[in-house]
Amino acid sequence: MLLRSAFVFSCDCPHSPEELEEVLASRKFSGIGQLDVDHLGWVNPRELENGPLVHAVNSIFLLALSKETKIVPASTVKKKLAAAEADATKREGRPPSRKERKALKEQVYESLLPGAPTRIKQTFGVLIPPKKQLLVLTTSAKCLEDFHGVFTDSFMKRGMRPSFRKLRTVQPPSLKMTEWLLNNECDGGFVLGEHCELTHEKSKVRYTALELDRPEIREHLLEGKVPVKLGLRHESTTSFIISCGSADEDLGFSKIHYGDNDGKTEGEGTADEVFDSDLVFSVTEFLGIANELFEAFGGIAPDVEVLASGEAFQ
């Protein structure tokens, strides 16, 4: 399994898979109920029936949060609601009030839940306890929110509260990204990629699959637009897009590609061995590069632990 996207957090958590297993068991996935809109819980990351909730490889713990959601089409609700309103009007001799219509809509929606189809989505996380780091492997703010909520609740059900903090850098990433785009040169072992997104208030400009040494990009920056996404390539040949919110929050990585090493596990082995080898390689490679990038942003803010140096995990 190769990491393709990640948000990075500081997280103090149990140092053994057995301890973590006990914590996650309090929110184990049990399937959605008839009247539930959705259901979230931990599952085996390798999709093994009755398998452990923690897949441990050396000091790397892989987790998987499963979310099952009922699909109730708005068109179906609208059709059923119209019929219910017609019946109410005929019965009462008048159209339902706004309050009555709202209650009818809720009744219609609830009546459709038991037979509604569902979809299941998984969000993976990687814990590295010795380094006190957590990677949430998604680009979705909603998936990140779900993972954080269930992860925290799992600990609280055991009478514990995990130290779970968003990573902050000393220098706002957008300032350094602006500098790099203006100078067409990056610090450290990085070079500009072929993707950037600039915003200012409601205005947004995106460049994809293009060289970023362009006069119009400089003009946008000088006019006050701020980079919120930037493609970078590391000297190791790994490339990625780094993103941050307009307030320099929720620093994330996406479209991670490991260059010459992507999908080329050395030697031969079973599917399980290849899975674990890819996981260890990509976590080690990613954290090493992420650490270099955060140093370029002035280092990690004092209240957050320093990232792993990128040494292989034992």
Q: What share of the chain has pLDDT > 90, as a percent?
A: 45
For residue 131, report the phi and psi dihedrals to the nearest 5 degrees. Answer: -100, -5
The DSSP result for 6-55, as a single string, is: EEEEEEE--SSHHHHHHHHGGGB-----TT-SEEEEEE-TT--TT--S-E
Contacts 24+ apart (CB under 8 A), 134-138: 134/8, 134/9, 134/10, 134/11, 134/13, 134/164, 135/3, 135/6, 135/7, 135/8, 135/9, 135/283, 135/286, 136/6, 136/7, 136/9, 137/3, 137/4, 137/5, 137/6, 138/5, 138/6, 138/7
Model pLDDT, residue 119: 93
Give the number of other Cβ atoms within 10 Å of residue 79's Cβ: 12
pLDDT tens for each residue of 133-183: 899 999 998 999 999 999 999 988 888 877 777 778 888 888 999 999 999
C-alpha pair distances (Å), 277 with each of 98, 160, 260 = 59, 32, 16
Is the CB of residue 126 less than 8 Å from the CB of residue 290? no
pLDDT at 35 over 90: no
pLDDT tens for each residue of 119-130: 999 999 999 988
pTM for the model: 0.83
For residue 70, report the phi and psi dihedrals to the nearest 5 degrees. Answer: -75, 140
Model pLDDT, residue 303: 61
Q: What share of the chain has pLDDT > 70, as a percent?
A: 92
Alpha helices in the chain (DSSP H): 17-24, 74-92, 98-112, 141-156, 173-183, 215-222, 271-296
